[in-house]
Structure formats: structure tokens, C-alpha cells
Amino acid sequence: MSNFLVVRHGDVERWTLNDPATRNALNDSMVVALFEACLRAKHDETLRVVVLTGAAGAFCAGGSLGGFASAIGQPLQPGETDPLLAVNRSFGDVLHTLSELPQLLVCAVDGPAMGGGLGLVCCADHVIATERSLFGTPEVTLGLPPAQIAPFVWMRLGDAAARQCLLQGRRWLAAEAKSLGLVNDLAADGALEAALHDTLQHLNHAAPGAVASTKRLLQRLRGRVPDLRDEAALAFTAALRGPEAQAGLVAFARKQPAPWLNTGTDSA
């Protein structure tokens, strides 16, 4: 079974992250499939709307660390090029390409949208979430920087909320995410499809050529998302091979406090 599904109805495509066992975590093959879908859509003048969603009651749990397991806490040898740089940068390529789609991009979120999943949401033109949805970037609590998604979170939420999210590992319920402007429409649990139908009916009034032109103007007005793909890949892979990530991920797996967590009650 494919972990990335594409279903087309007329001029609307639905892209589904489809790996329920991992809550649709972004593994290498899923990232490649998403990037290829973006490249194809970019040149498809018959496509008007892309709906990005997740399967089985989750949007996306973030990046899958399974392929990185052997590298966690393992420094490179002198002069060795890190093979993980290209892997991490490829997700940055997805975010940039997704944010520049000429079509209207709708994210339909049910359940968690964490880490890289939140980055995908921040690329959308319109976000619908159910009341049980949860948003957050837990990377720093694991000893990792949320590097590739940082520019997109910052562009979507603004500096203050982005700092709260990225630097503190905060999690937001759907209603909180709506108050921040991350979510546009909030649907009751079980009513996501009905809300999506209403949104697509409304978006149908927008002419596709005018939408593509307006998106280009808006990109120029606000400036392109800062291209930090190489720098972000370096920051992420360096942290992954360092002692903090090793300790943080071991603690997470064992459901223990991270070693940097101050559990004392005294304050300075």
C-alpha cells in the first residue's frame, strides 16, 4: 500500500499522507512522493485546488527518525560528508515547493500536526481543523532544532508566536491555533469532510488564473520565504549527531525526563 495517496475529482486533488501506524510520520519515500506531486501540480493548469490531509485520524506526527537511528549521537569522522544533509534538505525542498504552488492549497487537519506536520500546515492558503486537532513543535524538547520548518512557522505566525512555538516546544489545541491565525476554520469532531465540502464550494468562486497571479504577487509583497535549506540541514544533522539529541531521544523512548529538565522547585 502506498504511503502517499493522490485522488482526483475534477479540478481538485486530494493528497493523503497514509501511514497510520506512525500517525503519518514523514519518511523518505513519503517526502519524495510529496515533492514529485508538487512538481507535477506546479505545471498542471487544469488543477485548481490541492487538499492535503492525513489518514486514520491523524494529520502528521512529524519527521520519521527511523532512518536516522544509526546516526543519533554518532559524530562524523574528520573530512566525512554527512549523508543526512541531503535527506534533511529534501524536506526543505518540499516546504518551499508546496508554499509556491499556483493552486489554492487547503490543509484538512484531524488529530496531531506535529513538527514537520506543522510545517506543512504553515504552507497552506486555508486550514481546516477538527476540535481534537493538536499542533506543536516538540523538537527542542528532544534536543533537536525544528530547522527546516522554522521559516514557514515564522512567516505564518509572526515572530512572537513563532518563538513561543519553536523555542519552547509548546503545543496548541485547535481553538488556540485558530486564535493565533494558524487555523482558519474549526470543525466539530467527525465533521471535517462536511467543512471541507463547504470550503471547496466557496473556493470554486475563485478563478484559477487570478489565484495563481495573486499568489505570485503576495509572495513578492511579503518576500519569499527565507531560503535556509542548507543552513537548516547543517543545524539539524549536527544536533542529531550530538549528545543532546542522543540523550533526549533515549529519554523520550523510555518515557523519562530529559537530562536538562530541572525538576527542582527552587528558583533563582
Q: Which residues are catalytic?
A: 139
Is residue 203 within 8 A of residue 47, CB to CB? The reply is no
CA distance 137 to 24: 16
Widest distance between CA atoms in the chain: 62
Closest by CA to 245, choosing from 265, 263, 259, is 259
Query: Could you give phi then psi for residue 51, rounded to 5 degrees?
Result: -110, 120
Q: What ranges in 61-191 are assigned the alpha helix state H? A: 84-99, 116-121, 150-157, 159-168, 174-180
Cell reading at 258: 530529559
CA distance 33 to 102: 19
